Structure formats: structure tokens, C-alpha cells
Amino acid sequence: MTSLTNTALPSSADAVIVGAGINGLAVAYELAKLGVRNVVVIEKGYVGSGSTGRCGGGIRQQWTTEENVRLARESVELYENLTSELGYQTFFRRGGYLMVTETEEHRAAMREAVALQNRCGVESEFLEPDRCLDIVPDLNIARIKGASFCAGDGTAYPFSVVWGYARAADRRRVKIFSQTRVTGIECDGGRITAVGTDRGRIATPIVVNCAGPWARALAAKVGLDLPNRQERHEIMVSESLKPCLEPMVISLSNGIYFSQSMRGEIVGGIGDPEEPGWEDPARFDTRSQLRFAVRFARALCDLYPAARPLRMMRQWAGMYDVTPDHRPILGGVPGLDGYFQICGFSGHGFMLAPIAGKRMARHIATGEPDDIVTSLSLARFERGDLQTDAFVVG
């Protein structure tokens, strides 16, 4: 790998990507694949040290807005062949996603969402509560009002995916520099001209903001005020047990999600409506909290009683980079040639990154418009074109 801290930064690059999480490395790989020869990735920590390395690895297509459904469907298609594409085992498997609700309101929304998903080519289906037992026999359906299921959804191992992209990008001569901080972005006449770092200056006509929770702070360096905020979320992992749970299970009512890893652990999290949002990620607290452990354990045992004997082994915190409508921000901005951004996935960047990186790389390299990139641009907030996705959990 070329991510050695004692390697000198190049004085120039055709494109500089900021952030070596899955979004940054996916777009870097796709740019190199399209023939952009001198691509540099800058990472202030290590590969996958941000949100990618702290996520649960879920990949689903069950959304309530067309852009998210289409991105997810195309992303799953890429995930299906990603191990072969990257030459690295990603441990992607299609175990499905079972989404349940305890309210009539969500039941109606599920029916509408399934209809939208089906129109977009996703083979999901609405289920009555008793049919959930055909998929997860040990599920407590006493309060469940309805559910949806998509067998084509699945999971992958985040560190394998991110290192797969890193190694594949390295083979295409992308230079990845860890432990390197961006100190400034230079512009001249409305054009990007260089990126300043604590290890030197890189002249470049293109900067791609893939900084995840730090995207807003990076955008401020070119005078942009992103509407993103950061939310703290935790995940807990149990001891291993024999295979018993094939799909990821999600409750829209309380935000819990959980699945069983290939090693047998139950992995999951739950949202906390009392958790404050953070505008400055430097103040973010990643320490584990007893409050989360208690809330998750109680919700898990209530919905999945088979988990009651399990011992919880570890937990950790990470950040969601959240936009007001829970949809990502893609593309450039008027009046600043060469600046692009891929951020604001609201906790679902891992599942959408392969196709977001592919579409953005094509848009950057060719200049050709992309309908999804256009619809998810920063300009939508000025236009008031907000279509909030209702199925954001975690």
C-alpha cells in the first residue's frame, strides 16, 4: 500500500479525495478505473477510521424515496460482484431484511413503500404479522402490526469492503495518505487550485469531499455551509451462538436493528431520540454509555426473546452525518468549479457507497449530467425540493 506516513506527498494531482472511508475509496477507485491517472486520497486517521469502521454492515433496498431505492438497488447489484471486482473477500451475503412496526401509521407507510420499491425493480413484499414467523421463528409478534421483507437485502463486513477498495485503488496507482490533515483548500477565480495539508501542498483542479462527519467542516474551507449535523449512535455485539438468524431485523417503532454475523454474534443498535445533534465533530463523545446498553438489551429481548441468555461482549459509538431530509448530498456547487461532495448519508453510506462512488466518478471524469446526482445536489435545499425518507433507523 502507498498509505505510508513517511512517503512524500506529490506536488500535484489530477484529483484529491478527502476521506479514506468507503465513499472516498470507492470514488477514487472508480476515477482511476475511468482513466484519471493521478488520484490522491487524504485521510486524517487510518483507512476506515471514521463512520465506515463503526457501522453495522447492513445493505438494504427498502426505502421510501425513489432516489434512495434506486441507489440501493444498483448498489446491491455491485455488492453481488464486489469480491470479484476488487479481488478481495467482502463477505457479502443476502440474508434479507425484515422490517416490522407496531403502529398502524407505519403499516400504511410500509404498503406504500413496497409499492414504490416494486416499481423501482426491488422485490420486496408486505407481510402480515404471522408471516414474520416463517422468516424469524423466534420473533415476538404480539405487538407487531405489519412488516415488509426483501430477500435481496443483506450484509457485508465493513473493514473487508473498505480494504478491498483501498487495495484495488492502490493497484490502479491511487496514492492513499493516512495520518494527514487538510489545512485548507485554495481557489482562484471560482476554481479549485490546490489542497493544503499538514504535510505539504498539492496543486489540483479537483477536490472531492468524502469526509463523512467532517464534511461540513471541510466544506466551510471553501465557503459552503452544509445543512449536515452529526448524531451519535452505538452498536453492541454479543457472544457467538449457533446460526439462528438469517435476516437483519429492524423495528420502525423503536429503531432497533440486529442481525447475526458469520461468526455467530448478534450485532445491533438502537436510536436514542434524546441524543443531541452535534455540529462540531471534534466535540463528539465516542465513549460507551450504560444508557445505550440497557435500552438495546431490553428492546432486543422484547422483540427477540431467544437473546435473553446472551452475554453482551462489547459496544462502540460512531457518527451519522445527517441531512434534513435524510438523503445524501452529491455533486458540485455552482460557482466553484472542481469542488464535489459525497456526504450526508444519514447513517447509510456503507450500503449506498459503491453506486454513489461509481455515479459520481463518471460525473466528475466526463462532465456528463446524472439524474440522481442532480436530484441530490446541495441546491435542492434552496429549491425546497425535500422528500424526507421515513425509514431511517439506528
User: Is the domain of 157 the same as that of 286?
Assistant: no
Strands (E) in 273-324, as ranges, are: 277-278, 312-322
Q: Which amino acid is residue 235, in one-letter code?
A: I
User: Is the domain of 251 the same as that of 359?
Assistant: no
Question: In the numeric block, which cell numbers belong to residue 283?
Answer: 466535540
**According to the model, what pLDDT value does residue 4 have?**
46
Which residues constitute the domain of residue 375? 1-94+153-228+323-394
- Bridge partners, 16 (sequence order): 40, 207
CA dist., res. 74 & res. 85, Å (int): 15
Element (H, E) at 23: helix 22-33
User: Is the domain of 261 the same as that of 345?
Assistant: no
CB-based contacts of 50: which residues, under 8 Å, 6+ apart? 19, 21, 211, 212, 213, 214, 318, 319
CATH number at residue 191: 3.50.50.60
User: Is the domain of 236 the same as that of 308?
Assistant: yes
Question: In the numeric block, which cell numbers belong to residue 55?
Answer: 457501522
Percent of the chain whose predicted confidence (pLDDT) is above 70: 96
- Bridge partners, 42 (sequence order): 18, 177
CA 140 remoteness from chain centre: 29
User: Is the domain of 198 the same as that of 57?
Assistant: yes
Give the residue from 294, 321, 348 where a domain finishes. 321
Taking only the tens place, the pLDDT of each residue in 54-104 is 999 999 999 999 999 999 999 999 999 999 999 999 999 999 999 999 999
User: Is the domain of 331 the same as that of 314?
Assistant: no
Give the residue from 282, 297, 321 where a domain finishes. 321
User: Is the domain of 78 the same as that of 99?
Assistant: no
Taking only the tens place, the pLDDT of each residue in 309-357 is 999 999 999 999 999 999 999 999 999 999 999 999 999 999 999 999 9
CA dist., res. 168 & res. 357, Å (int): 14
The 10 Å Cβ neighbour count of residue 51 is 25
Taking only the tens place, the pLDDT of each residue in 273-304 is 877 666 666 667 778 889 999 999 999 999 99
Element (H, E) at 168: helix 158-171
Q: Is the pTM of this model over 0.85?
A: yes
Total domain count, the chain:
2
CA dist., res. 260 & res. 258, Å (int): 7
